[in-house]
Amino acid sequence: MRNKIIVGNWKMNNSSSESLELVKKINDLVVWKSDVEVVVCPPSVYIATTVKEIKGIKGCQIKVGAQNGHFESKGAFTGEISCAMLIDVGVEYVVVGHSERRQYFGETDEVVNKRALCAIKSGLTPIVCVGETLAERENSITEEIIRKQVKLILNGISENEIEKVIIAYEPIWAIGTGKTATNEQANEVCKSIRNLVYELYGEKVSEAIRIQYGGSMNGENARELLSQSEIDGGLVGGASLKAEEFSKIVNSAHNDNN
Ligand code: PGA
């Protein structure tokens, strides 16, 4: 059975004191069990302090991820942060190819592929985001679009490396809009991603790889979404900023709850 993973993407939110307050509260409210991993992704300036703060909270099992990581190890890339630097400050996960990076910063599947490859080689676990627009869904080309994205992003990732990858299916029309994909829609796309992984890497890998859903997941809808057979966790934006909501999502991800 695949362990679930709930990732809080704070985006460009929270001050340093709010970050500390949030992780403390999450730790108080979450029921820690080994079947669910919990990750928070603070803005880059707060990553190092968040790692330290978490270490200082007794029993806290929150891991830290970054919202982005560059594909070169160092050099003249103003404003970027390398995966080696992220490792250096205690980061374990990195989100790559979030739709906001694609939309506002022009990231293509090719760039996302380079970031994912570098993350793996550096020892980080990439959380690779894919998703269709509303127009693509309405034109019934969701599966085609997702397959294309996943294929391009996984290009060059070997069978040994793919096990470290997490894929997040995030329909763009559901991100930050309050419109969640139905359980069936979300499960169907996650299933087609798993089928593609089967075609590319075989059964063992396709059974092991974790596929998350993201897009307006909250404390109310999480249990149903997370109980779908192909959904192995959530990438959570807005609701990850509220300790009660986020903890409710984590607690509903435990095996005995879905
Ligand atoms: P949301 O964001 O939960 O606010 O819809 C999800 C995401 O962007 O990963």
**CA-CA-CA-CA dihedral for 225, 229, 235, 239, to nearest 10:** 20
DSSP 8-state code for residue 76: S
Q: Is the CB of 170 under 6 A from ligand 1?
A: yes
Structure tokens that stand for 105 in this block: 């910063």
Phi, psi of 75 (to 5 degrees): 130, -165
Q: Any alpha helices (H) in 155-232, and if so which ranges?
A: 159-162, 183-201, 203-208, 222-226
| End-to-end CA separation in angstroms for the chain | 13
State the number of CA atoms in the 13 A half-sphere of 87 facing the CB.
14
pLDDT at position 57, please?
95
Taking the C-alpha atoms of residue 25 and residue 215, their distance in angstroms, rounded to an integer, is 23
% the chain with pLDDT above 70: 100
Ligand 1 nearest atom to the CA of residue 177, by list position: 5
Whether 157 shows a pLDDT value over 90: the answer reads yes
Catalytic residues: 98, 170
In a 10 Å sphere around its CB, with 0-12 CB exposed, 13-18 middle and 19+ buried, how is residue 31 labelled?
exposed
Taking the C-alpha atoms of residue 229 and residue 255, their distance in angstroms, rounded to an integer, is 12
Q: Among 216, 240, 248, which residue has the most ligand 1 atoms within 8 Å of its CB, making it the best to mutate?
A: 216
- Report the DSSP beta bridge partners of residue 214: 235
Q: Among 101, 235, 241, 245, which residue has the most ligand 1 atoms within 8 Å of its CB, making it the best to mutate?
A: 235
Whether 201 shows a pLDDT value over 70: the answer reads yes
DSSP 8-state code for residue 82: B
Q: Is the CB of 117 under 6 A from ligand 1?
A: no
Confidence band (pLDDT; 50, 70, 90) for 1? confident
Q: Is the CB of 176 under 6 A from ligand 1?
A: yes
Taking the C-alpha atoms of residue 225 and residue 164, their distance in angstroms, rounded to an integer, is 23
Residue type, 227: S
Structure tokens that stand for 28 in this block: 């108080």
**What's the average model confidence in pLDDT over 71-99?**
96
Q: How many CB atoms lie under 10 A from the CB of residue 103?
A: 12
Structure tokens that stand for 29 in this block: 């409210």
CA of 129 from ligand 1 middle (Å) equals: 11
pLDDT at position 163, please?
85
Mean pLDDT of the chain: 96
Ligand 1 nearest atom to the CA of residue 168, by list position: 9
Q: Is the CB of 130 under 6 A from ligand 1?
A: no
Ligand 1 nearest atom to the CA of residue 240, by list position: 3
From atom 1 of ligand 1, which residue's Cα is the shortest distance away? 237
pLDDT at position 258, please?
65
What is the DSSP secondary-structure string of 149-163?
HHHHHHTT--HHHHT
CA of 76 from ligand 1 middle (Å) equals: 31
Task: Please tell me the pTM assigned to this model.
Answer: 0.97
Structure tokens that stand for 48 in this block: 């190092």
pLDDT at position 121, please?
96
Taking the C-alpha atoms of residue 126 and residue 166, their distance in angstroms, rounded to an integer, is 6
Q: What are the structural domains of the chain? A: 4-257 (3.20.20.70)
pLDDT at position 59, please?
94
Structure tokens that stand for 191 in this block: 């299933």
Taking the C-alpha atoms of residue 250 and residue 221, their distance in angstroms, rounded to an integer, is 12
Q: Is the CB of 216 under 6 A from ligand 1?
A: yes
**What's the average model confidence in pLDDT over 146-150?**
98
CA of 117 from ligand 1 middle (Å) equals: 24
CB 132 within 8 A of CB 141: yes
pLDDT at position 144, please?
97
CA of 50 from ligand 1 middle (Å) equals: 21
CB 221 within 8 A of CB 250: no
